[in-house]
Structure 1
């Protein structure tokens, strides 16, 4: 009998250990692990589709490949922006306006085509920045240089990984 109770005790210990193992991976824990993984997969797939896909569902060329290919040829292409007209920030009741005609210098026609597709985003970025300027910010050649540098920084931030080499003023009128 002692042998039976010893064997029975061993079997009950094994069963108890099996129950502990099953309790470690309960339904809550599986959901807590699987839900974030599933969420990351769905979110990553959606982000990739939005970033790399066109509106018609076709896959666009890799931006890094366009930048590398266009910089290898190093032909300079100029992309004209539509004229920009903004009212400047002022402290008094007098209104001041700024009219700009700008061309962007890029390397290669492939990159220029990609920049043309981003034109609404570039125009928006410029409009937001320019509306906060005052007449004093634009005075003299130093003011014009600062404006040029800031617009270059704005556009390169907006269209990354593409890169604009230079912002060229065709016309600048402050009234």
Structure 2
């Protein structure tokens, strides 16, 4: 009978899970508070006055310093086996106003570079669906090399017709 009875002093008492729950709640609250503090800029937020000044400058007029220089229209023969095909091409250069006169002076060189590049293309190069984007990037790069650093911001194709 003594073996069948369990000794109440032999069972270890159950440990409370309350400290673990409290620790978990405090960890989540601390993590959330830390995230909010960095996200809102209270910690590591930088200088808010500089950001406000930059936003103010952007709202003035970001397009005030832009001028467009028109490239003379071109008609270029394209290498096509059975027939002679023509490419009618017209473009404009987006430049800062301070460099518009310089780029206008260099326009004959720009036309020469564009004419040389477009004459070297084959019909397959022009018929690809992504051709215009690729050609635009290539022509912009060539124009920037001819005109100099930071003188041409963008190359705008106004007309690109293959007849």
Please report the TM-score for the alignment, with normalisation by the length of structure 2: 0.58
> How many pairs align?
101
Please, which runs of 5 or more residues in structure 1 have no aligned partner? 1-72
Q: How does 1:54-133 map to 2 (within 5 A)?
A: 75-90=65-80, 92-108=81-97, 110-133=98-121
1:141 shift after superposition: 4.0
Partner in structure 1 of residue 147 of structure 2: 159
Q: Does 1:142 align with 2:111?
A: no
User: CA contact under 8 A between 1:98 and 1:172: conserved in structure 2?
Assistant: yes
> 1:74, 1:107 within 8 Å by CA — same for their partners in 2?
no
Task: Kindly indicate whether the alpha-carbon contact (under 8 Å) linking 1:105 and 1:166 is maintained by their aligned counterparts in 2.
Answer: yes
Moved over 4 A (4+): none
Deviation at 1:74, TM superposition (A): 6.2
Cα distance in 1 between the residues matched to 2:111 and 2:145: 13
**Where does structure 2 lack aligned partners over 5 or more consecutive residues?**
1-62
Output one character per residue of 1:97-140: Cα deviation in whole Å (capped at 9) or x when no partner: 111110100112x3010000001100000011000111221224
Alignment RMSD: 1.7
Q: Aligned-pair distance for 1:162?
A: 4.6
Q: Residues 49-81 of structure 1: CA distance to partner in whole angstroms, max 9, x if unpaired?
A: xxxxxxxxxxxxxxxxxxxxxxxx961111101
Moved more, 163-172 or 78-87: 163-172
Q: Report the secondary structure of 2:134's partner residue.
A: helix
SS in 2 for 1:127: helix
SS in 1 for 2:120: coil
| Higher relative helix content | 1
1:88 and 1:153 map into 2 onto residues whose CA distance is: 22
Q: CA deviation at 1:161?
A: 3.2
